[in-house]
């Protein structure tokens, strides 16, 4: 979830990014940390759940940003939500490895460095496998069961939303971790929530 929320820059309007930066600077948070903390409070990452400002989320679509398979995968490898996720994940992979290396010295924090890299690798794999599953399951519903495109996408969307709701349950425990004045205690909340969600 946090990984997907880190991909959202091109799906967020400039004014939203500036507002987020302004709010995070008021409480001395980096943009990345503000995004991570926000991801603990959401069920759907922005790439799946974004709606226009002021619009009421429709109950008709399980994934409001991706209302059809065509918006998910255009089969050109670049456009569509899947293309965006795949491209952004490659860029983010190296950035997060550098962030881990800067935050945790391999010599001084060997076990923490190893855990952070392992969790990052597992998250990357999980997101990519989920994206591939969405394609395969959609095609299976159409070819095997004879569902319409709309029906097939509705079932895929329902499955993804249910999965994200289940992942949200352990993560919710850390949603208000910033209320704790102790940085060590905050870190404990975050780590416990993330390990449980894994």
What is the Cα–Cα distance from 177 to 186, expressed in whole angstroms?
A: 5
More confident residue, 11 or 187: 187
- Domain-wise residue ranges, the chain: 2-197
| pLDDT above 90: percentage of residues in the chain | 35
More confident residue, 7 or 153: 153
In this predicted structure, the answer to whether residue 175 has a pLDDT above a threshold of 80 is yes
pLDDT bin (cut points 50, 70, 90) of residue 176 is: confident
Q: Look up tokens 């079932």; give the residue.
A: 155
DSSP code at position 55 = P
Give the CA count within 13 Å in the CB-facing half-sphere of 8: 28
Choice among 53-62, 66-75, 90-99, 179-188 with the minimum mean pLDDT: 53-62
Please say whether the dihedral angle defined by the alpha carbons of residues 96, 168, 24 and 104, taken in this order, is positive or negative: negative
In this predicted structure, the answer to whether residue 121 has a pLDDT above a threshold of 60 is yes
pLDDT bin (cut points 50, 70, 90) of residue 5 is: confident
Residue-wise pLDDT for 8-59, tens only, equals 554 444 445 445 545 555 556 666 677 777 778 778 888 888 765 555 556 6
Secondary structure (DSSP) of 136-188: HHHHHHHHHH---HHHHHHHHHHHHHHHHHHHHHHHGGGTTGGGSS-HHHHHH
pLDDT bin (cut points 50, 70, 90) of residue 180 is: confident
């Amino acid at each position: 979830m946090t990984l997907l929320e880190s991909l959202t820059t091109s799906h967020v309007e400039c004014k939203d990014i500036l507002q987020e930066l302004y709010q995070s600077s008021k409480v001395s948070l980096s943009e990345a940390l503000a995004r991570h903390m926000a991801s603990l409070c959401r069920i759907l990452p922005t790439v799946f759940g974004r709606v226009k400002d002021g619009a009421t989320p429709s109950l008709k679509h399980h994934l409001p940003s991706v209302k059809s398979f065509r918006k998910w995968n255009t089969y050109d490898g670049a456009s569509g939500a899947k293309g965006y996720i795949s491209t952004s994940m490659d860029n983010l992979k190296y950035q997060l490895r550098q962030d881990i290396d800067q935050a945790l010295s391999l010599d001084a924090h060997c076990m923490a460095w190893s855990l952070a890299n392992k969790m990052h690798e597992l998250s990357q794999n999980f997101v990519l496998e989920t994206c591939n599953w969405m394609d395969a399951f959609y095609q299976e519903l159409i070819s095997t069961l004879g569902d319409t495109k709309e029906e097939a996408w509705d079932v895929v969307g329902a499955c993804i939303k249910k999965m994200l709701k289940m992942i949200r349950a352990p993560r919710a425990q850390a949603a208000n971790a910033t209320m704790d004045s102790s940085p060590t205690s905050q870190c404990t909340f975050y780590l416990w929530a993330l390990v449980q969600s894994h």
